[in-house]
Amino acid sequence: MTRNAGGFSLVEIMVAITLLGVCLVGVAQVTFVMARRTYAVSSGQARNGILAQQVNQFAALPFDSLKGEVGTVTVNKPPLPYTRTVTVYSLSPTLVRVTIVVTPSSVFKPDTLVLQRSKALRSTFGGP
């Protein structure tokens, strides 16, 4: 009797499946790490956008309206929920310091923004 050597044996199939499993676990781990890094980068971009928005908002407000914005506001909208705390210190009748603390609800540390705003002086040329 001669044995036919064609085809795969059960041991060869088991070795192939084991090697495939090890390779797929490595690919899954790399995919998971990249997904976490992508999420961190996109959250960082959202944080920078929120900070720029806050600076622009308080730079555009009229001088006399700044004290009305004092307090704490919580925003729960995606992509980055946060809490904003605003304090206004009067340095002189025409100069204030606005301190804005933005505390993200995620793993980021709080950011503090400090603006100094001065009251516009009347023009000596008869304008506003």
Residues 87-117: tens digit of each pLDDT: 999 988 889 999 999 888 877 788 899 999 8
Q: What does the longest C-alpha to C-alpha distance in the chain come to?
A: 117
What are the structure tokens assigned to 71, written together?
């307090």
What are the structure tokens assigned to 101, written together?
């603390």
- The secondary structure element, H or E, covering residue 90 is strand 82-92
The CA-based dihedral angle spanning residues 59, 60, 64, 69, taken in that order and rounded to the nearest 10 degrees? -70
Query: In whole angstroms, what is the distance from residue 45 CA to residue 126 CA?
Result: 45
The pLDDT, as a whole number, for residue 104 is 86
Are 102 and 110 within 8 A, CB to CB? yes
The pLDDT, as a whole number, for residue 31 is 92
Q: Where are the domains of the chain?
A: 10-118
Nearest to 119 by CA among 95, 98, 85: 95
Are 14 and 21 within 8 A, CB to CB? no
Share of the chain above pLDDT 70, in %: 89
